[in-house]
A and B are shown apart, each in its own frame.
Chain A
Amino acid sequence: MVAQLLFFLLAIVAIAAALGMLIARNPVNSALWLVLNLFCIAGLYLTLNAQFIGIIQILVYAGAIMVLFLFVIMLLNLAELPRREDIDWKRGAAFILGMGVLAQLVYIVAMSFDVLPHPPAAQEAVATGSAQVLARALFTEYALPFEVIGLLLLVATIGAVMLAKRRFV
């Protein structure tokens, strides 16, 4: 009951924050909306009992990546975009309603063809969320993809350093 309430609360705030990020005219405000969104998603993970992923979400995305984003935005001193005057609220409302109806339709169609993923049992969810289970899966079953991703990130880092260096030579 509490979990469901929390879920809806967090989901609504997350969606609102995502919209806020899109609408905000100031890049810093945009970034902050995104941070709020990330926090809500971390909260969603917590309601699913996936503490590890939830905390990692905050640690990596909110704590490191978004700080870097913010750093770059502040460093570049990006100007605020002009305020939009010509927003067509009617069209926006129509878009949201339309998307809602579409989602419902897709949901019903998917349900009738039985392609929806079944929610895992509570016990299973606790097990998959913990660090041990996750680590075991990462380092055995998905060891190769894990290493490949690591390599990819390394290449990206080296590439970024090279690109950054060229300007000053």
Chain B
Amino acid sequence: MDLPLWATGLIGFLIINAMLVSASVLVYAERKVSGYIQNRPGPNRVGPFGFLQPFADVVKLIMKEDIAPRAASPFIHSLAPVLMVIIAMTVPAVIPFARGFVIADLDVSVLVVLALTSVSVYGVTLAGWSSNSKYSLLGGLRSSAQMISYELSMGLAVVSVVLIAGSLSLVDIVEDQASGWAILGWNVIRNPVGAMLFIITAFAETNRAPFDLPEAEQELVGGYHTEYSGMKFGMFFLAEYVNFFIASFIIVTLFFGGYLIPFEPLFAHVFYDNGLGWLLGVLQFFALLAKTAFFAFLFIWVRWTLPRFKYNQLMTIGWKYLLPIGIVNALVIALGVAVFEALGL
């Protein structure tokens, strides 16, 4: 789809705003779900069913005084939250939202996702360092170690997907999953180990429980964002929610058929024959949203159920379990792909 530049810009603007709103919706969802998990009603005072609570929170955060430690490095201290938000907001550019609807259809969009994930650690690390506080520093250190460790396994999980699809483009990867019957083409069925690996590492990369060691409220009093207040803290907060929303998008795109509606290969031709391709596109968009919402719920569910890992457990899992599993999985998938190609399937 070759859109003029202004149209792409407009869509990008809309999507950024949609992401901001979705972050508030997720905050609301998290508080409501955690409330139900903990046998309490959750927010129910601001607006109908407390739906305006996150907006009230944002207003509060904007009103609050911005406090920075005197010994902090002022520029980097301000840069870190901005960096987090920018990186989180960049990823949607390469996510295909429906057939033929993607802002930037790059040949290497999978790598863009990986690159942005790996760069996002700077926000956390720099926040930890520039605050000039010991707790923050420990949080920053934990975060960089954790990100580096889990990036490898995440990369290997992605490699297995790329091997199956034979392309580095997210659009191709999604379309490749449309090949099987009904939902059998989805990568979660062709490559279940890779899917598990990717979901686990996605938790680690987004710093969500049980991998939330960098912020561990009870040990490091908030970790890297201990010394942040007001909207700077709000930006970390925003980035966290956008991040796990994006992570859900990527999980769905890579392993759960992306924008494909379940059983789509069975009836997609009906739409195209009747010239209703646009309707299919809309349905695909909602299918993607529904699947993503499920994984966002999974992120919330896990957070309010499991205790946090310990640092050495985290390293053990990353290096001694996930990495070997990832390597073996990539090898098996590669062999499988080679065998299938040799057999001409």
Contact = CB atoms under 8 A, between A and B. Distances in A.
Q: Do A and B bind each other?
A: yes
Interface of A: 26, 28-29, 32, 35, 51-52, 55-56, 58-59, 62-64, 67-68, 70-71, 74-75, 130-131
B184 interface: no
B194 to A, nearest CB: 19
20 contacts: A32-B76, A32-B126, A51-B106, A51-B108, A52-B111, A55-B108, A56-B111, A58-B115, A59-B114, A62-B118, A63-B115, A64-B118, A67-B121, A67-B125, A67-B148, A70-B125, A71-B125, A71-B148, A74-B144, A131-B108
Contacts, number: 71
A125 to B, nearest CB: 14
A96 B290 CA distance: 59
A67 B129 CA distance: 13
9 closest residue pairs by CB, A with B: A63-B118, A59-B115, A55-B111, A58-B115, A71-B144, A51-B108, A63-B119, A55-B115, A55-B108
B145 interface: yes
Contacts of A32: 76, 126
B293 interface: no
Interface in B216-260: none
Contacts of B151: 63-64
Contacts of A59: 111, 114-115, 118
Interface of B: 73, 76, 106-108, 111-112, 114-115, 117-119, 121-122, 125-126, 128-129, 137, 140-141, 144-145, 147-148, 151, 168
Nearest to B79: A32
B309 to A, nearest CB: 19
Contacts of A130: 107
